[in-house]
Amino acid sequence: MKIGDKFVIVLIIVSLLFGIFIQYVLRRNQEKLLVILSDGELFMKVPISDSTNLGPILVKSKEGFLYVIVNKGKVKVIESTCKDKLCIKQGEISKVGESIVCLPNRISISIVGTDKYVDTTSY
Amino acid sequence: MNRKVLIFLTVAIFILLIPFLIFYYVNYQNLHREIYSMDTIIKIDIWGINKEKIAYEIEKEINYLASLFDDYNPNSEVSKINENAGIKPIKVSDDTIEILKKAKEMYEKTGGIFNIMIAPVSKLWGFKDESYKVPTLNEIKQALTLTDINDLVINSNEVFLKKKDEAIDLGGIAKGYTLDKIKEIIEKNKPTKVVVNMGGNVYIYNTDPNRIFKVGIKHPRSNGVIAILELKSGNFVATSGDYERFFELDGVRYCHIIDPRNGSPAKALISATAITKQGYVGDAFSTAFFILGKDKALQLALEVDAQAVLIDSSLNIYYSESLAGSIEVENR
């Protein structure tokens, strides 16, 4: 095999990998993701669907911790160290764009995806 | 096929891919930041070049303004003004003077409905430290004597509250004012697109001024969205609701927004949204709309070139005529 052949083969493989990568990025963005941030830092990011069951998941921050469960794609906080318990009172979220925030613990739980029906929500 | 042609084609495809990837990264990958400040969560999404730098500048501005306005922080300028009520004037920074002047302007424009001096009455109801109670009429009457806006004296860069126990609370204007400052940073740096959500107060920006954003209004009684607004870049959206901070006693809901006319929680509406071109105006007006109720709020919106979306306790939705066609009501 000549040096030129090897060059071509390597380029083709790299291009293919790029193609797969782009496909992966685009497809990933079409999914519904459960994103949890603690103290403003990413804590976890997992794809969810209407059949997802997860948890209880322990989410820690510098201020305290809480437990999140996912039941058939519906996300809620079941236990929290915060005083006001607003995160528990907020109940379930399941649609892209919805979120639960525990201000005292500085933890946010959001559902994100590209098929969102709003850019943001005023409250 | 000729090997040279093959090499040329592969290299060409490869090189063409690189700008595509850069373009993708710059325009479709947004930077997402969440900041906890001013007693709320601030979510910032930025698309375009220089995302990190812009986010850093915004975060710095928020922290600076919070250090001036936060009345829970004993070292803030607002706390110092309150502490020295009836004692002595306090020298403060330009931003504090500016926001106080704007608060007075909003007091005038809303006929006294938006009043940052309502703090002693809010405190009486327990909204300041979550020690909720229903005060007696006499207590309310007494507290209302401490809410005269003319007792807030601004003299060049000094601020003085005339009577002891008087206090200011910028909770109804600080977020909007901060959004105005964030807007300045964004317009200076010109990223492709920005969405800032500051505890429910929203600012939307796109380099193309005609680009439409979809902004939801939270359902006052569930986690979903009750209506969707289609708005152009550059708008501010602020909502006041009875679901944010409230307590219930004997089946009655008492919310944190106090009507300065009677010193009691407002109850004409359960949610009021203001759409404006300036952040501080929207923040103050959503509060004023909430207190005024449907008819007067719609009237005021017309007078001041703002738009209103109002929801009453039966979940009826009323909105400014100019919003027809750009509002879609979701499930109730």
Going by pLDDT thresholds of 50, 70 and 90, the confidence category of residue B23 is confident
Regarding whether A84 and A63 lie in a shared domain, the answer is: yes
Flag the least confident range among A2-11, A47-56, A86-95, B102-111: A2-11
> Considering the domain boundaries, does residue A119 fall inside one?
no
Is the pLDDT at B331 greater than 80, yes or no? no
Regarding whether A60 and A10 lie in a shared domain, the answer is: no
Regarding whether A63 and A51 lie in a shared domain, the answer is: yes
Look at A122 and B202 and tell me if their CB atoms are within 8 Å: yes
> Considering the domain boundaries, does residue A122 fall inside one?
no
Which of B6, B24, B36 to probe the A interface (max A CBs under 10 A)? B36
Q: Which residues in chain A are contacts of B24 at CB distance < 8 A?
A: 22, 25
What residue numbers bound the domain in which A55 lies? 33-112
The pLDDT value given to residue B290: 97
CATH number at residue A104: 2.60.320.10
How many independent structural domains does chain A possess? 2
Q: Any chain B CB within 8 A of the CB of A16?
A: no
> Considering the domain boundaries, does residue A121 fall inside one?
no
Q: What is the pLDDT of residues B238-272, one digit of tens each?
A: 999 999 889 998 889 999 999 999 999 999 999 99
Is the pLDDT at B7 greater than 80, yes or no? no
- The structure tokens listed for B222 are 């569930």
Instruction: Answer left, alpha or beta for residue B325, where phi above 0 means left and psi between -120 and 50 means alpha.
Output: left
Q: What is the pLDDT of residues A31-45, one digit of tens each?
A: 789 999 999 999 999
Going by pLDDT thresholds of 50, 70 and 90, the confidence category of residue A7 is confident
The pLDDT value given to residue A25: 67
Q: Any chain B CB within 8 A of the CB of A24?
A: no
Regarding whether A99 and A53 lie in a shared domain, the answer is: yes
What's the gap in Å between the CA of A50 and the closest CA on chain B? 17
From the list A7, A18, A117, which residue is nearest B7 (CB)? A7
Regarding whether A68 and A11 lie in a shared domain, the answer is: no
Q: What is the pLDDT of residues B161-203, one digit of tens each?
A: 999 999 999 999 999 999 999 999 999 999 999 999 999 999 9
The pLDDT value given to residue A15: 77
> Considering the domain boundaries, does residue A118 fall inside one?
no
Regarding whether A91 and A67 lie in a shared domain, the answer is: yes
DSSP B260: T
Average per-residue pLDDT for chain A: 87
> Considering the domain boundaries, does residue A78 fall inside one?
yes
Regarding whether A79 and A24 lie in a shared domain, the answer is: no
The pLDDT value given to residue B1: 57
Is the pLDDT at A88 greater than 60, yes or no? yes
Is the pLDDT at B118 greater than 80, yes or no? yes
Q: Any chain B CB within 8 A of the CB of A84?
A: yes
Going by pLDDT thresholds of 50, 70 and 90, the confidence category of residue A70 is very high
Average pLDDT of the residues in B119-131: 93
From the list A11, A103, A119, which residue is nearest B214 (CB)? A119
Regarding whether A7 and A60 lie in a shared domain, the answer is: no
Domains of chain B: 70-172 (1.10.3980.10), 208-329 (3.10.520.10)
User: Is pLDDT larger for residue B331 or for residue B37?
Assistant: B37
> Considering the domain boundaries, does residue A117 fall inside one?
no
- Rounded Cα distance, A70 and B141, in Å: 50
Q: Which residues in chain A are contacts of B227 at CB distance < 8 A?
A: none
Regarding whether A26 and A40 lie in a shared domain, the answer is: no
**Closest among A121, A114, A112 to B215, alpha carbons compared:** A121
Look at A40 and B34 and tell me if their CB atoms are within 8 Å: yes
Q: What 3-state class would DSSP assign to B125?
A: coil
The pLDDT value given to residue A59: 95
Q: β-strands B201-206, B252-255: how paired?
A: unpaired
Q: What is the pLDDT of residues B291-325, one digit of tens each?
A: 999 999 999 999 999 999 999 999 999 999 999 99
Q: Chain A window 38-57: which residues touch B at a Cβ cutoff of 8 Å?
A: 39-40
Going by pLDDT thresholds of 50, 70 and 90, the confidence category of residue B113 is very high
The pLDDT value given to residue B306: 96
Residues 6+ apart with CB under 8 A from A76: A68, A69, A88, A90, A91, A92, A93, A100
Q: Chain A window 92-121: which residues touch B at a Cβ cutoff of 8 Å?
A: 92-93, 95, 97-98, 100-101, 103, 106, 108, 117-121
Flag the least confident range among A43-47, B114-118, B178-182, B234-238: A43-47
Average per-residue pLDDT for chain B: 93
Task: Return the residue of A nearest to B41 by Cα.
Answer: A103
Q: Which residues in chain B are contacts of A15 at CB distance < 8 A?
A: 10, 13-14, 17
Regarding whether A12 and A70 lie in a shared domain, the answer is: no
Write the CA distances from A37 to A63, B41, B304, integer angstroms: 13, 12, 39
> Considering the domain boundaries, does residue A123 fall inside one?
no
Regarding whether A67 and A10 lie in a shared domain, the answer is: no
Percent pLDDT > 90 in chain B is 83
> Considering the domain boundaries, does residue A73 fall inside one?
yes
Write the CA distances from A57 to A63, A68, A88, B34, B330, integer angstroms: 17, 5, 14, 21, 32
Q: How many CB atoms lie within 10 A of CB B89?
A: 15
Regarding whether A19 and A65 lie in a shared domain, the answer is: no
What's the gap in Å between the CA of A101 and the closest CA on chain B? 8
Is the pLDDT at A29 greater than 90, yes or no? no
